[in-house]
Structure 1
Amino acid sequence: MINENDVITNLDELEAFLLSVENGGMGLTNVAGIALATNNADGRHFVAVLDDKHQLLLGRWVTDDVYENGKDLVRNGPKKPLH
């Protein structure tokens, strides 16, 4: 579910990812939420797209900076208009 080489390194990339999920660009179905999380095994942070049973549909690693500074963006949603 998480590509090891696909890391979100800045807030613009995080916002683009969120917009893509909201627009249906990822081809995911049954999306119920998005959260920032930490992998229990190694402590790495990621953004998680979850279904209505809180199961991981898709995840992308994020840098520590994005994890710390992207919380409001994930909580409140992107500010850019949907295309």
Structure 2
Amino acid sequence: MIIDDKEIETLEELAAFITLVEQGGLGLENVAGIALATNNSDGRPFIAVLDDSHQLLLGRWVTQHVFENGKDLVRTGSGKIH
């Protein structure tokens, strides 16, 4: 699992991260989706960038506030024109 040590602390940071992924700014290939998840070993929440086989390409830690309140943002995407 590739987890970036940076933590997303606000919904604005979450929106910026989603936009970056949607626009291809991280150089990831075969991106098929983004999801909020929790680490199986310690329950810590993170945002997961998944490929078309549902394998984790990149994860970034999120605060509990972002995890609880960012679900609609993750579900609908940034809404910004690419």
Question: What corresponds to 1:3 in structure 2?
Answer: 4
How far apart, CA to CA, are the structure 2 residues paired with 1:79 and 1:22?
A: 10
Question: What corresponds to 1:24 in structure 2?
Answer: 24
Cα distance, 1:59 vs structure 2: 0.5
**How high is the TM-score relative to the length of structure 2?**
0.94
How far apart, CA to CA, are the structure 1 residues paired with 2:63 and 2:69?
A: 10
Question: What corresponds to 1:74 in structure 2?
Answer: 74
Do the aligned residues in 1 keep the contact of 2:34 with 2:74 (CA within 8 Å)? yes
Q: Between the two proteins, what is the percent identity of the paired residues?
A: 67
How far apart, CA to CA, are the structure 2 residues paired with 1:73 and 1:19?
A: 11
> What secondary structure is seen at the aligned counterpart in 1 of 2:60?
strand
1:25-64 correspondence runs (5 A): 25-64=25-64
How far apart, CA to CA, are the structure 2 residues paired with 1:69 and 1:60?
A: 16
Deviations 1:1-35 (A, max 9, x none): 1123x000000000000000000000001000100
Would you say how many aligned residue pairs link Structure 1 and Structure 2? 81
Structure 1 vs Structure 2 CA RMSD = 0.9
Do the aligned residues in 1 keep the contact of 2:31 with 2:49 (CA within 8 Å)? yes
Gaps spanning 5+ residues in structure 2: where? none
**How high is the TM-score relative to the length of structure 1?**
0.93
What code does the residue aligned with 1:60 have? Answer: R
Matched, 1:65 2:65: yes
